[in-house]
Structure formats: C-alpha cells, structure tokens
Chain A
Amino acid sequence: MIAIVDYGVGNLFSLCSSLEMIGVNAKVTSDINEIKNADKIILPGVGAFGDAIEKLRQTGLDKILIDEANNGKDIMGICLGMQLLFEKSYEYGEHKGLGLLKGEIVAMDGRLPQNLKIPHIGWNGLHFNKESHLLSGIKENDCVYFVHSYYAVGCDDSLVATSEYGKEITAMVQKDNVMGCQFHPEKSGNIGLSILKAFCEGR
C-alpha cells in the first residue's frame, strides 16, 4: 500500500485517480501507523511552504516522515511536497524544511529574466541530469505540467532532471530513497503516469 500523506492541504482527487488508473493500491491518510506500515509514501502539497511545514509539525507527521525516510522507505514529494523535503525555504520568511535533501527553496521573482511570467505555469520539457529509475518510461524533452513560483537550488547530487525557464529549474530530484517532482505527475498525461508507475514499482 502507498500512503498519500493527508495534512489538510491540496486537492488529492487527481493523485488518487491517477494511482488507481495505474492499478496501485493507495490510501489518503494522516494515521501514523498506516504511514509506518505503508510500502511507500507520497507527500503531496499545494499552497505556501510555511503553512504546510507547520501543519506537518503540529500533527507530528514531520518526525514520522523523517524516521521513515531514514529507515530507507521510498518517499516522493510532489510540487510543494518536494520542496518540503529540502533544508529550508524563503517563501514569505524563512522556514526550516524536513531536511531530507540538501538545498533550499527560493523565489523565481528576481532570479529569472524580467520578461518571464511568474508563476511558471504550463507544460515544459524535461532535461535529464543523472540516471534515476523514475525516468525509465520517459525520454529527454518529454513535457510535464508545472505550476509554481518557487524552486529548489543547491540540490547538488540529487538533481535528476531540470526544465528550462529562463534558467535551469529543478524539476526532479532523488537521493537514494528520497525523491521529488516539482511538476504535477498526476496532471502530466501519460508521461506523468509513467513516472508515478516507476515510483510505485520501486528501485
């Protein structure tokens, strides 16, 4: 069973439907035992970093996620969920993240060429940076759907794929059992389903 962590943010309808479509048994849950007993964990998220990490702390889910990741369980963050895996974010202030990946989350505003619109919304091509089993069913330049105004920098050896939007934007990350997609695989057609399938089938 895959546990989709429910901490009161974001719309999980499409994520659940897409996992159902690829025949994966998933459950939306905030129950600590269910998350501990799950084979893998997906951390979704839409909204602001500060609110989200605060909710994870209030519920104690932050510690569970860190423990499970340290025990070697596969965990994938999606969109804001990916950003939460990093050390720190500068979205409306400065917030400490889960610290499972090296790097921090910064605003696009002020770091991209002025003519580019923010948020970065739409379909953009993936450029592979290093091997990952998540890429097994897709190819260079395949497009995925992004909606975000902040992005991860300083990811070092976890950087799996980027997309070009004025500069190279972190699109996918992986360090061993900890993975993340900045884009929405559940909104990225067959390419997205293929990435979710690769995650669910395992390394």
Chain B
Amino acid sequence: MITKRIIPCLDVRNGRVVKGMNFEGVTDVSSPVELADYYSKNGADELVFYDITASFEGRKLFSEILTEVASKIFIPLTVGGGINTVEDFDRVLKCGADKVSVNSGAIKNPSLISDAAKRYGNQCVVISADVKRVDGVFRVFAKGGRENTGMEAVDWITHCVDLGAGEVVLNSIDTDGVKNGFDLEMLKAVLDAVNVPVIASGGAGSIDDFIDLFKKLPTVDAGLAASIFHFGEVEIKSLKQELNNNGINVRLC
C-alpha cells in the first residue's frame, strides 16, 4: 500500500536554512546540505527546498547547494521559490531537482503550469498555494503571503490542476507558525475538489497533529513542516513510528 509521506521543508536564503513565523522574522538554523543529509537518514520521504533569495548571487549559490544535495541524497527533491519561467524549471532540474513548485509565478502567468507540464510532465509541476481566510472565504495570497490576490482558493487550485499541476501543496497562512495543528477544514475543501496528491502544510506542532491529519483526512497524501523538525521538537523517526502504531501506513527505515 502506498505510504503517507513526511516532508521537511527547508527555506534557503544565502545558503542557509531559515524558517519564518507567519512569514516574518526569519531565524538562521543550519546548513542545507547537513540538514538534508540528516533528514534523509532519519526517514524523510522527500525534501522541499524554497529559495527565498532575490539576488542573482543568491540564486547561483542556491543552485550550487542544490547540486551538492542532489549528488548525495537519493530521495525526491522539490524546489520552489522564484520560479517564474520554464527556464527557471530547467535551471533547478539540471541541478538535480525532481519536482518544481510554483506559486506567485503561476499567479502572474498561469500558462507557466501548462508550458512546464508539457515539457517535463505533470508529475514535475507542483502548485503551492498560500491560503488565508478573509471574511470567511479562502483567498489565495501571493508574494510570500503578503498580497491578497482576491482569488478563491479551491477555484484557483482546481484550475491549476486542470492546467497540468500534478501535486498540490496547501499552506494555510492562518495556521502557519501557530503549531496547533494543520488546517483540516481548508485541506478538506481542496481534497474534495482535486484528484492529485495534496500535501498539508502549516500548523504542525506535535506528533499528534500528524496523527490527527492522517486519521481525519484519509485522502491527504503528505504532511510538510519546517521548524518543528529543524529545532528537533519532533523527530521524523519517532513521528513515523507513532504514525505506524496508530495504523497509518508509513515507510519505516
């Protein structure tokens, strides 16, 4: 049976891993290569790297780091951040990424999804959406959660899947950094609307939050988190053991 995936996310700026609280006030945590190696040895099913650098030099550094990670670590790697063109896809895929996640770039130009899916296949294109409730409606936010696009989230994500996105990362801005559990209500709305894998992001604070996620939403495919893994609050090995004890099918190693 297919297993539920546990995915640590590494935000990378100037070659270091950082994690924002509600997207503000980032703290330097550790080296991406070391963290990636540690995670892959301790049961991470996949790694997500977000490049939050804006400068050309930072981009170049990110590419070098990605190449180093990909030549040592043999689990799927997803890369996001600053992906605006098919050339950006090409740049990170050549460094060893397997999937590329688009967010603001697809909001500006939705055909980025179809163009990339045509060239690299749907499995390569991940739509990452930052979503927040505004007056009771799920709205899509751009630019790292700072700008309300006014688009309704389920409509947007469904549209992206129709265009060729093969996977969805749903990040709830409402629960991000709060560490009080995933946004089950928001996730359910998306899970009911699309038939591609959905990765839950934002809100994990404890092992119980993951158990809750997979028990209450059996069709969700993966749980993604950053700071609780980086700061060692939750160890992936013990998390997976606990999930297994609770009857949730995971890859134990």
Contacts and interface: CB of A to CB of B under 8 A. Distances in A.
Interface of A: 11, 13-14, 17-18, 20-21, 46-47, 115, 117-125, 143, 145, 147, 164-165, 186-190, 192-193
Given A123-B5, A123-B251, A188 B74 contact: yes
A20 B71 contact: yes
Nearest to B195: A117
Contact of A143 (B167, B196, B219, B251): B251
A190 B252 CA distance: 12
A14 B75 CA distance: 9
B195 A18 contact: no
Contacts of A164: 1
A123 B253 CA distance: 12
B3 A122 contact: yes
Contacts of B167: 121
Nearest to A186: B74
Contact of B1 (A18, A20, A125, A190): A125
29 contacts: A11-B93, A13-B70, A13-B95, A14-B96, A17-B71, A17-B72, A21-B74, A115-B219, A117-B195, A118-B195, A119-B122, A120-B2, A121-B166, A121-B167, A122-B3, A123-B251, A125-B3, A143-B3, A143-B251, A145-B75, A165-B1, A186-B74, A187-B75, A187-B98, A188-B74, A188-B75, A189-B253, A190-B74, A192-B74
Contacts of A188: 74-75
A46 B71 CA distance: 19
B91 interface: no
Interface in B83-101: 93-96, 98
Most chain B CB within a 10 A radius of its CB, from A46, A118, A120: A46
Given A11-B96, A119-B166, 17 more contacts: A13-B70, A13-B95, A14-B98, A20-B71, A46-B121, A117-B196, A117-B197, A118-B195, A119-B123, A120-B2, A121-B123, A122-B2, A122-B197, A123-B2, A124-B1, A143-B251, A189-B253
Interface in B1-43: 1-3, 5, 40
B110 interface: no
B70 A17 contact: yes
A111 to B, nearest CB: 15
A193 B197 CA distance: 26
Contacts of A119: 122-123, 166
A165 to B, nearest CB: 6
Contacts of B144: none
Contacts of B76: 145, 187
B51 interface: no
Contacts, number: 81
8 tightest A-B CB contacts, nearest first: A143-B251, A17-B71, A13-B96, A123-B251, A147-B123, A123-B3, A124-B2, A122-B2
Interface of B: 1-3, 5, 40, 45, 70-72, 74-76, 93-96, 98, 121-123, 166-167, 195-197, 219, 221-222, 251, 253
Contacts of A189: 40, 74-75, 253
A169 to B, nearest CB: 10
A6 to B, nearest CB: 14
Nearest to A148: B123
Contacts of A46: 121
Contacts of B122: 119
Contacts of B96: 11, 13-14, 17
Most chain A CB within a 10 A radius of its CB, from B40, B123, B251: B251
A165 B167 CA distance: 18
A143 B250 CA distance: 9
Contacts of A125: 1, 3
A20 B2 CA distance: 29
